[in-house]
Structure 1
Amino acid sequence: MRIAMIGAGYVGLVSGACFAEFGVDVCVVDTDAGKVEALRAGRIPIYEPGLDALVAENVRDGRLSFTTDLDEAVRGAEAVFLAVGTPSRRGDGHADLTYVYAAAEQVARAAQGRLVLVTKSTVPVGTGRQVRDIVRRVRPDLSIEVASNPEFLREGSAIGDFMRPDRVVIGTEAGEGGAWAMTVLRRLYRPLNLIEVPILATRIETAELIKYAANAFLATKITFINEIADLCEKVGADVHDVSRGMGLDGRIGRKFLHPGPGYGGSCFPKDTLALARTAQDHGAPVRLVETTIAVNEARKAALADRVAAACGGSLSGKVVAVLGLTFKPETDDMRDAASLVVVPKLVEAGATVRAFDPAGMGHAKPLLPGAVHYAQGPLDAAQGADALVLLTEWNEFRALSPEKLRAAMRGPVLLDFRNVYDPEAMREAGFHYHSIGRP
């Protein structure tokens, strides 16, 4: 079986490599010639554990290839996946579908026979219908079936999520064409039958909405436990025990109930915003999601105020070490990371910031102000600091010796915004320790 993946970004590259691992012949196409050349040379443009080895193995075995020639990629493909970017549109928060529609038209022009055109990108409800109208207008002579197959990949564990998913969602149209498209996509995912992965067959609109609803719900869980953490601080409760007590209820579950600086990354911020805008346009506003967005943004802005308060009310002339810049560990993704709000506010308040991140500093440098100094490691960042702020819970930060960390610093203030350290151990090491939602 041969497929094409349009877009060599995070979703397209991971999905293409994993389909190749299933034994499928995959051609990934991208307009960025430099990226394609790098991939052909074995250089992976994103940080994702295990992806470099997976790509190299399937390129070597001839199942995975890269090109800038869309006609070449589409030729002979039974299914073509659209995995292009859908960023938030400036000004109104709607998903920008420019790349999706342009790619759909290009695929239609390049198609030589019957195929399934699949939206893998996260797209608002109704996008599949628009794509169908485009391909029918461009190629009325050809049977191009449109389907939706949303991705549910978590950065840092994307390969496992693809190879061992909770479910696969496939949305198709009614009728013979939709039935044929479903058959093609079920055959593509056949290796997952061995581990009995549920395949949910739906209408296209339903598949599109499932992805947004799932991400909005998870973002709401994160925001909810963060607000409960704030309440815990006021009443003397421990948010971790509250979270554990909630999570043991099978109706709730324990995942995404970890307090922190708020959600970020490539999905939750833009997807919650796009869902809210779509709902408003259809006269069915999702007030809970709208509130989640507002609370999450306010939380990031308030973190810098916590740092100032812990330092006596002023950051003027203070040196603040920041450990972790990416929105989560095991990724180099800086999109909507808490650091992009917190660090500029620290600098604006008069602090000198010394930052370290194991993977994200290359992407962070053009996004953060010039007053940020980038360190060689966590102890280097802490050297001479008046306060230390932990923003991302990389494993190497968990393993730091409290005594060595305290010895490197000038001041005793430590703000652990991920609750990775034991409060008693940090106090014994001489820190004025602050965490989230713990007495």
Structure 2
Amino acid sequence: MGKIKNFLWRGILFFIVFLIALALLFIINVKVETWTILMIIITGFLSITIDTDNSSNKKLHKSLKIVSRALFASFSVYILLSMFIFVDNVIPEGNSLPEEPSVPELSPVFSSKSIGYEEETVSFSYNQLPTQILDDIFPISLNIFSHQESELEKVLLLKEYIKEDIDSRIGSEADIEFTILNSSNEWIQYTEEANKIKINNEDCIEDYLRRIVLRESAYDIGKTRDLCLIIATDYYDLGKAYAKQNDKEVAMDNYIKAIKYYKDSFNMKTEKGQYKYDSREIFYILGEIYHSIGNLCDDSNCQYGYYMSLAYYQLSFGKETNKINPYIYSGMVDLKTARLMDNKSSYYFLLDAENSFLIALYCSPKAITRRNINKHLAEVYQRLITYINNYGQPNGMQNVSDYKSKRELVINELESEELSKMLPSNN
């Protein structure tokens, strides 16, 4: 009876520890294969339940216990390492494919709202903007940009400029220490009053404006990188609020201010500093802002906004498997640009979109995200098939049958998901 009781307690203890570990993996969003979990259960259970003291064959049981513990430790280490596994098939710095962008209409077949990005539906022409504002938005003149030989060269040109610009900024200004600012009652008053203003509704433009005024007043007294990033975020949110109200010019003005503050944050960045945002995260946010700017426009220059967005998204690519948004949105901008072009130069963007979506699909454990990525991939493959039928098969592209097979795979996955929803419940 004592042996059975001891066995049960060991089993219960292991089960509790296993559930806690499983919950942590779910919270951290670590993708672990089913067989690994099964091996953890089997080896862990054996390692604590094999009794070497009260057995007739102690040597055999002791050997089994050592082996099971060694395997349990190995699989545990494997799971820990999987938290830090890098994505191997990251898009290279400069794709070897030429040319690019997209559809007769701006409206996408599948809305990006379905994976969390809320697009502005208003339109705006860059021609309405004065030259100075254009220079603030686009570092390279539209004339130079439009005369690049290929669409790939345009994106590479923008990426190179951005990297040079950021490198020249880093460390150009001092990030004032909070210990110094804490002695300024005025600075403290402004920041505390701003922090009291909570935005419960994203349409509360007046609250955004009051908060920005207070924070910029504090920023004039003492510049810190954290405050610079907070103001940048406020301007970005305010721009989205104006865009939602179809106030295009004011939305654009706020996007421009957000870009300025995000870029200025690099002035106070040092290699040793520990900050809330790292460079990749800021690049990703800037990619979002230029994506929004591209959505505001209704003339051919909106492609420049999308190209800037692509450049920033691609600079934000990391090797962390849990940060898939840059790949999803880069693929979306590629696809949107391909729709706008809808010509012989569009295939670079289609291939780039496929690459980004496949990386995101590989890394995403969520069914709803995978479903919407598959919808975008289905469109990409259909456009690649149409492209080859219209213009032939350039270097770097697979043939029509390959893309048909790929499209069938994603369509079958989508259809199986829809079919599973229609099946009767067992309850």
- What TM-score range do you get, normalising by the shorter chain? under 0.3
Q: Which has the higher contact order (CA 8 A, sep 6+)?
A: 2
TM-score of the two chains, using structure 1 as the length reference: 0.25
Structure holding more helix per residue: 2
Structure (1 or 2) with the greater strand fraction: 1
